[in-house]
Amino acid sequence: MTDEKTLKIEQQLENGVLTCKLTGWLDPNTSPELIEKINLDGVNSLIFDMQNVEYVFSAGLRAFMQLQRAINAKGGTLKLINTADTIRSIFEYTGFESMLEPKS
């Protein structure tokens, strides 16, 4: 029996806004899948709903950085929403807080 962590990606594109609801883990095994499955054609705003993300490893941070560079090159934006405090602290500690929605 394996204890392999998975990542589920639900996407919805509406008026140039691609919202991706993520569930699971962003680790070295699942992060390439995130990069692979996100198509930025016709996208000017990329939103990741992080409510059901359990943990983000450094490979996940790299994936978000790559996607941010790609969307910024098109003049677009990337935002992470519904981020749990434990995951939010990872982004803040590593200097990626600009991706986070402001805390309410």
pTM of the model: 0.93
Q: What is the Cα 11 distance to its own chain's centre?
A: 12
Give the chain's domain count: 1
Distances (CA, A) of 54 to 17, 24, 88: 24, 5, 11
Q: Supply the range of the domain harboring residue 60.
A: 7-37+47-84
Whether 14 maps to a domain, the answer reads yes
Whether 78 maps to a domain, the answer reads yes
Whether 77 maps to a domain, the answer reads yes
Q: What is the Cα 16 distance to its own chain's centre?
A: 17
Whether 59 maps to a domain, the answer reads yes
Residue 27 is part of a domain; what is its CATH number? 3.30.750.24
The pair phi, psi for residue 97, each rounded to 5°, is -65, -20
Q: Which amino acid is at 47?
A: I
Two structure tokens written together for 13: 């594109």
Render pLDDT for 6-65 as a digit per residue (tens, 0 to 9). Answer: 999 999 999 999 999 999 999 999 999 999 999 999 999 999 999 999 999 999 999 999
